[in-house]
Amino acid sequence: MTSILKPEGDWLSKVEEFFNNDEPVALPTETVYGLAAPISRPKAIAKIFDLKNRPTFNPLIVHLKKDWDIFNWVEKLTDVESRLIEKFWPGPLSLVLPKKNIPDICTASSKLVVLRAPKNKIFEQVLDGYGVPLAAPSANTSTRLSPTTAIRVQEDLGERGLKAIVDGGRSSEGLESTIVQVVNEKLRILREGALSDEELVLAGFEIDKSYQSQVAAASGDVMPGQGKHYAPLVPLVVMDDPQKWVSYHSNKKLLFLKILESDAPGLKPFNQKAQFVVLSQNDLKEAAFELFETLRLAETEVEQIVVLKTKDIGLGRAINDRLRRANG
């Protein structure tokens, strides 16, 4: 049985009790829900890998408070890294840094750690209460979609033995953090995410455009979450030609998914087996937010998803990245 805790009354001491019994707890963050455990409790950390069915060679993001002394946890920071932290923490920016006092089990024995300070009151209260950084990968089984609500966490991890979830409502970003590594003062985007390139550039940072994550993965560099990932349970086809997209045919029950800013022709179902969904007419942030939820719903409603790519601008890049990975 998974307890779903409302963040009221003595919820915080309950969370701490789970941690003290070496049980991870799923917590909301502004990006997606995380499966959290204190880095000081190796048995609880080991359970994160178990619950997610995650290979132990895949390291965990570690979360802390911005107002903590970061030098308890990292060896050093460059100027650019300090400025990034100053500007974007707390928030959806994760940084690859040389670790200190962080157990090898959290980082899959790497000397580097991916760190971030989440912007979510509930998560921050747990950090303040326990006083130790929390490792927290997204609260889903390996390769599946990240959850943006407590109920999605329960559906995925409840049967696998997760003991508790704190329900903090919908994640406000709905897309994972952007993972950045600073090399020679330039930013390598290791994973596109809720913080767009444009925002980083606007704040005066230089992105290493020559760096391409897929190429780096092949060369054995630090490379978060490559390969098939973020995948719904039903097959997903990604198209970039609106005409081909709208005329895609199959005997299966289809969901046609389109995201704002793609120049698609009018949305009319052309056979009774198909459903059309347009994600957020309003803005890409809202679309990013709805994307995972829509894919999750589609798993029970249709047999295949046919999605039209959006433009590679702003959050559109992160959305297209998730679609590409969902496609394998």
Contact set with ligand TXA (CB under 6 A): 29, 31-32, 34, 58-61, 92, 94, 107, 110, 112-114, 118, 136-138, 176-177, 179, 222, 224-225
Residue 144 or 258: the one with the smaller Cβ distance to Mg ion is 144
CB of 167 to Mg ion, least distance (A): 20
Q: Which one of the spans 92-100, 134-142, 153-161, 210-218 is the region binding Mg ion (CB under 5 A)?
A: 134-142
Residue 70 or 136: the one with the smaller Cβ distance to Mg ion is 136
Residue 222 or 297: the one with the smaller Cβ distance to ligand TXA is 222
CB of 30 to Mg ion, least distance (A): 15
Considering only 2, 138, 196, 320, the residue that binds Mg ion (CB under 5 A) is 138
CA distance 17 to 21: 6
Query: Which amino acid, 8?
Result: E
Q: Which one of the spans 117-125, 138-146, 154-162, 268-276 is the region binding Mg ion (CB under 5 A)?
A: 138-146
Environment class of 92 (CB within 10 Å of its CB; exposed 0-12, middle 13-18, buried 19+) = buried
Please give the distance of CA 54 from its chain centroid, rounded to a whole number: 15
- Residue 29 binds Mg ion (CB under 5 A): no
Residue 10 or 104: the one with the smaller Cβ distance to ligand TXA is 104
Please give the distance of CA 211 from its chain centroid, rounded to a whole number: 21
Residue 11 or 230: the one with the smaller Cβ distance to Mg ion is 230
- 3-state SS assignment for residue 259: strand
User: E strands along the chain, which residues?
Assistant: 3-5, 25-27, 34-38, 62-63, 93-98, 112-116, 134-135, 164-166, 178-183, 186-191, 236-239, 254-259, 274-279, 304-308
Residue 77 or 112: the one with the smaller Cβ distance to ligand TXA is 112
CB of 3 to ligand TXA, least distance (A): 20
Environment class of 65 (CB within 10 Å of its CB; exposed 0-12, middle 13-18, buried 19+) = middle
Residue 81 or 156: the one with the smaller Cβ distance to Mg ion is 156
Q: Residue 16 corresponds to which tokens in the numbers above?
A: 């701490």
Q: How many residues bind Mg ion (CB under 5 A)?
A: 1
CA torsion sign, 91 to 93 to 94 to 95?
negative
CB of 61 to Mg ion, least distance (A): 9
Half-sphere exposure of 98 (CA within 13 A, CB side): 6
Q: Which one of the spans 82-90, 125-133, 136-144, 178-186 is the region binding Mg ion (CB under 5 A)?
A: 136-144
- Residue 148 binds Mg ion (CB under 5 A): no
Q: Which does 222 bind (CB under 5 to 8 A by kind): ligand TXA, Mg ion, none?
A: ligand TXA
- Residue 320 binds Mg ion (CB under 5 A): no
Query: Which amino acid, 40?
Result: S
Rounded-to-10 torsion of CA 72, 90, 155, 250: -120
| Interface residues toward Mg ion, by CB under 5 A | 138
